[in-house]
C-alpha cells in the first residue's frame, strides 16, 4: 500500500459520494485529503493516527481511514458506496465529459445504468433532450464511447512491460528458456496481447505448470496444445504464452517479435522476411535479414515497411539510446503541481548522470496546477541561481516554463516575463475540443512566437483515455522547421506525443526532437526510457535529439537562439 493507493481510494470515494448526492462537506473532506496526500513526499503508510493528524489537511477522521486502508487494504466508506452503485454506472466515469453530476442525472432521470444503454440513448437523441446536456454534449459522449470501444482490451506500454516482466519472473524458475516477445519486445505504445515464449520438450507438462500460476486464468476456447491464452488477474489485456520446440527459440523470437507487415517485405533474394526467418541456417536476427537481402532492423522498428526505408539511409548505431541523453527539459516541482522540490528533482537528475535539469513548471493560467504568477517566477529564478552556485560547473538547472498556449494561440506571459526564461515549452492544456483547422491555427501562432523554444505534447492525447485533438502534422512540423522550434516527444507513458510515425518526417525537415519526461516526481524522470523506445521506433537519430546535446552545447544553442530572435 502506498500514498498513491490511498489517494486513489479517497478520490474514488469522493466521486461516488457526489454521484449519490451525499453531504458536500464530506465530499470535500475526502477530496481535500486526496489532494493533500498526493502532494506529500514522505511515505505516510507507517505512521500512527497521532502522527497523521499532525500533517496539514489530515484530521482524526481521515487519519483513521488511512490506517484502515493500510491495515486492511479496504475502505468501508468506499465499499458501502460500491455496493450501492451498478458496475455499469462505474464504467461511465471513463467517458470524457461526464462527471458525477451528469452521470447521476443519466442514471436517475433516464434509468441508464450501463454504457450500452447510454450509447443507445445518445444515438436515439434522448440524451440531448435532458436539461444541461444538449446536442453538443450528446455528440461528445458518442465520440468518447467510440474511442473507448476502439481501445478496449489494451494497456499502455508501461503496464504491458510490467505485466510481461512479472510473468517472466514467475516462469523463469520453472522454465530455463523464457523470452518476452511480440508487442512488448518491439515497444508498442499500446498493447493488446502480452506475449512470452517458452522453450520446452514437454508440452503437456508445461501447460499444466502454467495453469498452476494463480495470477493467470486460461481461456480454453482460445488456447491450443502449443499456445496458452488467457488473462492476468485484474486486467482484460490478452496473455499469450507460446511453447517452442528445443533449439527453435531464437528463430521463433524473431518471428513473433515482428509485426506481420514487416515480415511480408520481399527482399532482393525474392523471399519474404518470414520465409528467410523459417529457412535461414543460422537463427540470429542478423543472419535472417542477410538471407532476405534486407538491411538489419532493431526490434523496436519491426512494425512495417518504413523501417526498411529508414535503414537504407541510416545505420542502427545512429539511433538514440538512454546513454546518449545529457539532460532533461520538461519537468515540474512543488513550485506548481510536482511532488518533489526543485532541489530534489535536480539532485536526482544529477544522480542519473545528467548534466542539466530544465524546470518547466506550469504558467499562470494553469491555476488548477498552481501555475506561477510573474512574482513567483522571479522567486523561483532566485532559487535556481542559489542552487546552481552550489552545483559547480558540471551541472546546471536551466530556467524554463511550460507556458499554456491560450485559446488564440498566444503564450501565457508578457514578453518581459517570457524573456526571463532560458527556454519555453509551449503546450495546450485547456479548451481541447477543436476542429483540425482551429487546432492547427492555434499551434501555428504559438510556433511563430519568438519565445517558443519547444512545442509540448502537440496533440494533447492521453493514450487509451483521450484522443488527441486533430492537427495538420505536416504544417506544424514545417512551421517548426521555419521558426527553429524543437518538437517534444512527451515520454510520459500516458502521452507518448508526438506520435512516433511523424518523427522521421520532422528529422527530414531539420526539426530536432526533445525526449521530455514531463516529470512531476523524481521517479518520473525515468519515463525518458519510454521516450527513447518510441523515439527509436520512429528512427530518431542521436544527432537530432535536442537533449542529447551537452551542457555547453545546449547553453550555446539557447544563447544563440535568443540573440537571433532579438531578446
Instruction: Kindly report, residue by residue over 385-431, the tens digit of the pLDDT.
Output: 999 999 988 999 999 999 999 999 999 999 999 999 999 999 999 98
Other CB atoms within a 10 A radius of the CB of residue 483 amount to 17
Residues 238, 227, single domain; the answer is: yes
Residues 416, 502, single domain; the answer is: yes
pLDDT of residue 19: 95
Grid cell listed for 556: 550555446
d(CA 307, CA 316): 10
Q: Extract the runs of DSSP E, i.e. beta strands, from 280-371.
A: 327-328, 356-359
User: 458-472, pLDDT tens digit by residue?
Assistant: 999 999 888 899 999
Decide the pairing of beta strands 216-218 and 190-191. unpaired
Percent of the chain with pLDDT over 90: 84
Closest among 235, 217, 78, 223 to 162, alpha carbons compared: 235
Residue 104 included in any domain: no
Q: Give the model's confidence band at 38: pLDDT under 50 very low, under 70 low, under 90 confident, else very high.
A: confident
Residues 288, 334, single domain; the answer is: no
Residue 137 included in any domain: no
Question: Given 234, 257, 280, which residue is the final one in a domain?
Answer: 257
User: 246-295, pLDDT tens digit by residue?
Assistant: 999 999 999 999 999 999 999 999 999 999 999 999 999 999 999 999 99
Closest among 565, 303, 542, 554 to 451, alpha carbons compared: 565
Q: Give the model's confidence band at 224: pLDDT under 50 very low, under 70 low, under 90 confident, else very high.
A: very high
Q: What number is the average pLDDT over the span 61-88? A: 94
Residue 117 included in any domain: no
Q: Is the pLDDT of residue 567 over 90?
A: no
Containing domain of residue 220, as a range?
Answer: 153-257
Q: Are the CB atoms for 253 and 288 separated by under 8 Å?
A: no
CATH number at residue 519: 3.20.20.140
Residues 250, 215, single domain; the answer is: yes
Residues 220, 367, single domain; the answer is: no
Q: Are the CB atoms for 527 and 450 separated by under 8 Å?
A: no
Residue 94 included in any domain: no
Burial profile 311-335: b = 16 or more Cβ within 10 angstroms, e = fewer: beeeeeeebbeeebbbbbbbbbbbb
d(CA 538, CA 310): 9
pLDDT of residue 561: 96
Q: What number is the average pLDDT over the span 33-48? A: 90
- Quote the pTM value: 0.84
Residue 31 included in any domain: yes
Q: Is the pLDDT of residue 165 over 90?
A: yes
Residues 287, 351, single domain; the answer is: no
d(CA 66, CA 74): 10
Q: Give the model's confidence band at 335: pLDDT under 50 very low, under 70 low, under 90 confident, else very high.
A: very high
Q: Are the CB atoms for 535 and 527 separated by under 8 Å?
A: no
pLDDT of residue 151: 75
Q: Give the model's confidence band at 39: pLDDT under 50 very low, under 70 low, under 90 confident, else very high.
A: confident
How many structural domains compose the chain?
4
Q: Give the model's confidence band at 437: pLDDT under 50 very low, under 70 low, under 90 confident, else very high.
A: very high
Residues 226, 277, single domain; the answer is: no
Q: Give the model's confidence band at 110: pLDDT under 50 very low, under 70 low, under 90 confident, else very high.
A: confident
Residues 387, 342, single domain; the answer is: yes
Residues 459, 433, single domain; the answer is: yes
Residues 215, 343, single domain; the answer is: no
What integer best gives the mean pLDDT of the chain? 94
Question: Given 85, 103, 119, which residue is the final one in a domain?
Answer: 85
Q: What number is the average pLDDT over the span 125-134? A: 89
Residue 19 included in any domain: yes
Residues 249, 375, single domain; the answer is: no
Q: Give the model's confidence band at 40: pLDDT under 50 very low, under 70 low, under 90 confident, else very high.
A: confident
Residue 129 included in any domain: no
Question: Given 235, 257, 279, which residue is the final one in a domain?
Answer: 257
Helix/strand/coil (H, E, C) string of 263-301? HCCECCCCCEHHHHHHHCCCCCHHHHHHHHCCCCCCHHH
User: Judging by beta carbons within 10 Å of its beta carbon (0-12, 13-18, 19+), is residue 221 exposed, middle or buried?
Assistant: exposed
pLDDT of residue 433: 85
Q: Give the model's confidence band at 109: pLDDT under 50 very low, under 70 low, under 90 confident, else very high.
A: confident
CATH number at residue 50: 1.10.150.110
Q: What number is the average pLDDT over the span 232-237? A: 85
d(CA 397, CA 15): 39
Residues 197, 282, single domain; the answer is: no
Residue 103 included in any domain: no
Q: What number is the average pLDDT over the span 216-227? A: 95
Q: What number is the average pLDDT over the span 17-32? A: 94
Amino acid at each position: 500500500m502506498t500514498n498513491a493507493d490511498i489517494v486513489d481510494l479517497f478520490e474514488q470515494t469522493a466521486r461516488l459520494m457526489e454521484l449519490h448526492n451525499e453531504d458536500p462537506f464530506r465530499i470535500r473532506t475526502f477530496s481535500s485529503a486526496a489532494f493533500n496526500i498526493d502532494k506529500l513526499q514522505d511515505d505516510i503508510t507507517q505512521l500512527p493516527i497521532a502522527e497523521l493528524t499532525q500533517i496539514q489537511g489530515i484530521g482524526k477522521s481521515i487519519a483513521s481511514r488511512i490506517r484502515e486502508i493500510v491495515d486492511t487494504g479496504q475502505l468501508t466508506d468506499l465499499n458501502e458506496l460500491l455496493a450501492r452503485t451498478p458496475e455499469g454506472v462505474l464504467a461511465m466515469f471513463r467517458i470524457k465529459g461526464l462527471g458525477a453530476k451528469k452521470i447521476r442525472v443519466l442514471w436517475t432521470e433516464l434509468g441508464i445504468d450501463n454504457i450500452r444503454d447510454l450509447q443507445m440513448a445518445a444515438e436515439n437523441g434522448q440524451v440531448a433532450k435532458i436539461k444541461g446536456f444538449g446536442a453538443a454534449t450528446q455528440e461528445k459522449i458518442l465520440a468518447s464511447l467510440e474511442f473507448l470501444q476502439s481501445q478496449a482490451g489494451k494497456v499502455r506500454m508501461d503496464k504491458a512491460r510490467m505485466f510481461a516482466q512479472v510473468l517472466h519472473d514467475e516462469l523463469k524458475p520453472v522454465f530455463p528458456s523464457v523470452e518476452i516477445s511480440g508487442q512488448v519486445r518491439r515497444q508498442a505504445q499500446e498493447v493488446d496481447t502480452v506475449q512470452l515464449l517458452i522453450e520446452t520438450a514437454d508440452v503437456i507438462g508445461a501447460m499444466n505448470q502454467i495453469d498452476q500460476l494463480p495470477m493467470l486464468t486460461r481461456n480454453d476456447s482460445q488456447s491450443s496444445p502449443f499456445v496458452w491464452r488467457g488473462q492476468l488477474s485484474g486486467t482484460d489485456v490478452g496473455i499469450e504464452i507460446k511453447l517452442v520446440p528445443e533449439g527453435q527459440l531464437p528463430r521463433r523470437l524473431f518471428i513473433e517479435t515482428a509485426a506481420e507487415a514487416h515480415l511480408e517485405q520481399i527482399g532482393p533474394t525474392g523471399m519474404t522476411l518470414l520465409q528467410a526467418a523459417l529457412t535461414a541456417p543460422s537463427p540470429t536476427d542478423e543472419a535472417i535479414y542477410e538471407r532476405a537481402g534486407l538491411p538489419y532492423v532493431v526490434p523496436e522498428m519491426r512494425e512495417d515497411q518504413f523501417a526498411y526505408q529508414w535503414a537504407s539511409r541510416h545505420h542502427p548505431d545512429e539511433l538514440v539510446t538512454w546513454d546518449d541523453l545529457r539532460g532533461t527539459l520538461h519537468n515540474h516541482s512543488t513550485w506548481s503541481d510536482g511532488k518533489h522540490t526543485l532541489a530534489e528533482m535536480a539532485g536526482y537528475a544529477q544522480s542519473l548522470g545528467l548534466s542539466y535539469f530544465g524546470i518547466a513548471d506550469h504558467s499562470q493560467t494553469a491555476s488548477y496546477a498552481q501555475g506561477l504568477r510573474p512574482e513567483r517566477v522571479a522567486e523561483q529564478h532566485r532559487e535556481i541561481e542559489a542552487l546552481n552556485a552550489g552545483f559547480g560547473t558540471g551541472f546546471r538547472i536551466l530556467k524554463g516554463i511550460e507556458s499554456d498556449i491560450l485559446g488564440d494561440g498566444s503564450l501565457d506571459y508578457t514578453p518581459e516575463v517570457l524573456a526571463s526564461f532560458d527556454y519555453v515549452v509551449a503546450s495546450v492544456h485547456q479548451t481541447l475540443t477543436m476542429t483540425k483547422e482551429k487546432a492547427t491555427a492555434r499551434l501555428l501562432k504559438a510556433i511563430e512566437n519568438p519565445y517558443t523554444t519547444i512545442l509540448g505534447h502537440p496533440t494533447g492525447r492521453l493514450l487509451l483515455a483521450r484522443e488527441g485533438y486533430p492537427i495538420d502534422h505536416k504544417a506544424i512540423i514545417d512551421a517548426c522547421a521555419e521558426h527553429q522550434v524543437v518538437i517534444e516527444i512527451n515520454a510520459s507513458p500516458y502521452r507518448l506525443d508526438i506520435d512516433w510515425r511523424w518523427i522521421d518526417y520532422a528529422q527530414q525537415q531539420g526539426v530536432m526532437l526533445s525526449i521530455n519526461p514531463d516529470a512531476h516526481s523524481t521517479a518520473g524522470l525515468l519515463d525518458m526510457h519510454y521516450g527513447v523506445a518510441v523515439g527509436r521506433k520512429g528512427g530518431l537519430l542521436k544527432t537530432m535529439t535536442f537533449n542529447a546535446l551537452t551542457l555547453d552545447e545546449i547553453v550555446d544553442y539557447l544563447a544563440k537562439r535568443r540573440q537571433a530572435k532579438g531578446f
